[in-house]
Structure 1
Amino acid sequence: MPYSPALPTIAEAIQASLGPVFVLTGIGALLNVLTGRLARVVDRVRALEERHPQTEAPERARLIWELRRLAKRMSVINLALFLAVASAVATCIVVALLFVGALTRSHIGHYVAFSFILAMSLLIASFVAFLVEVRLSSSAIRVRDELLQ
């Protein structure tokens, strides 16, 4: 008779995978925030690109500065998105390995641990990139001196 895992074994695998599944929920929320920020940056770039041909020298310099800052923000957000998605993939691998290990009675704990460490490292890197983007955003927000007089 072929091997069939016992129900308690499957239940244990499900219980062990709940933590990583909650991590996936958090990563999903982070992806939502990052894509929202990226959409706002893209909208701002499009608005400035429309104004670019009609602007004169002093205003054009400020507009170009802002476009450069927005381009930098887009690249940092894209990096954060890439890292978050890579973290989600590594987390999914953790869940899959937990089930493979439980169902095949394999001793793959090292692979599970490595995948989890990788997932958390990628998530940390994504949050660092997000922090960099927030700093770029907040440093770009300033009221021009001529408007304060």
Structure 2
Amino acid sequence: MESSISDLAQVIQIVVAPVFMLTGIAGFLNVMSGRLGRIVDRARIIERRVAILKNPDKLKISHVELKYLWRRIKIINRSIGMCTASALFVCSVVCCLFIGEFLLMDLTKAIVILFVIALLLLIAALISFLKEVQLATRTLQMGKEFDDE
């Protein structure tokens, strides 16, 4: 009985690192969800503006801004999806660690593959997030001449 408790303690120590990674991913998801909410709010404002605008020049500017906002929504949604998938793969790593230990199976290759996939998804999510931030920065001045916000 003593050895199974010490084995469990050892597995729990090993599992701590992926759990910290999950915490980091959760932080990224929180930031990305917040950005998504802000973008959606801005898109709703622009959509209301488009419905009442008469000036063709301002209407064109608003349509262009709306196009960029929808592009940002698509990019941030992709980032959120990849971060979520990464978290799921990390959870799979944790499950494999426990299953491998308690069923006395060698799941080393599966664990490595799952962890690498999780990291690659996280890298892709962060690159996508960076693209969204850069797009937001490039379009920052758009719509400044309106005083309805």
Taking a change above 3 Å as real, the CA distance of residues 13 and 142 of structure 1, as seen in their structure-2 partners, is same
SS in 2 for 1:111: helix
2:106 is the counterpart of 1:107: yes
Could you tell me the percent identity over the aligned residues?
35
Which amino acid in the other structure matches residue 142 of structure 1?
A: Q
Q: 2:42 is matched with which residue: 38, 41, 44?
A: 44
Cα distance in structure 2, aligned partners of 1:24 and 1:145: 39
Stretches of structure 1 lacking an aligned partner (at least 5 in a row): none
2:76 is the counterpart of 1:77: yes
* Structure 1 position 142, deviation (Å): 2.1
Taking a change above 3 Å as real, the CA distance of residues 144 and 86 of structure 1, as seen in their structure-2 partners, is closer
Taking a change above 3 Å as real, the CA distance of residues 115 and 30 of structure 1, as seen in their structure-2 partners, is same
* Structure 1 position 105, deviation (Å): 1.0
Cα distance in structure 2, aligned partners of 1:145 and 1:105: 63
Q: In the comparison of the two structures, how many residue pairs are matched?
A: 145
RMSD: 2.0
Cα distance in structure 2, aligned partners of 1:8 and 1:64: 63
Whether contact under 8 Å (2:65, 2:142) holds in the other structure is no
Partner of residue 61, structure 1? 60
Which consecutive aligned stretches of 4+ in structure 1 deviate over 6 angstroms post-superposition? 143-147
Which amino acid in the other structure matches residue 12 of structure 1?
A: Q
Stretches of structure 2 lacking an aligned partner (at least 5 in a row): none
SS in 2 for 1:6: helix
Within 5 A, what are the aligned runs for 1:1-149? 6-55=4-53, 56-142=55-141
Whether contact under 8 Å (2:15, 2:97) holds in the other structure is yes
Which amino acid in the other structure matches residue 104 of structure 2?
A: R
Taking a change above 3 Å as real, the CA distance of residues 145 and 92 of structure 1, as seen in their structure-2 partners, is closer
After superposition, the C-alpha distances for 1:97-134 in whole angstroms (9 at most, x for unaligned) are 00001111111100000000010000000000000000
**TM value normalised by structure 2:** 0.92
**TM value normalised by structure 1:** 0.92
* Structure 1 position 53, deviation (Å): 1.9
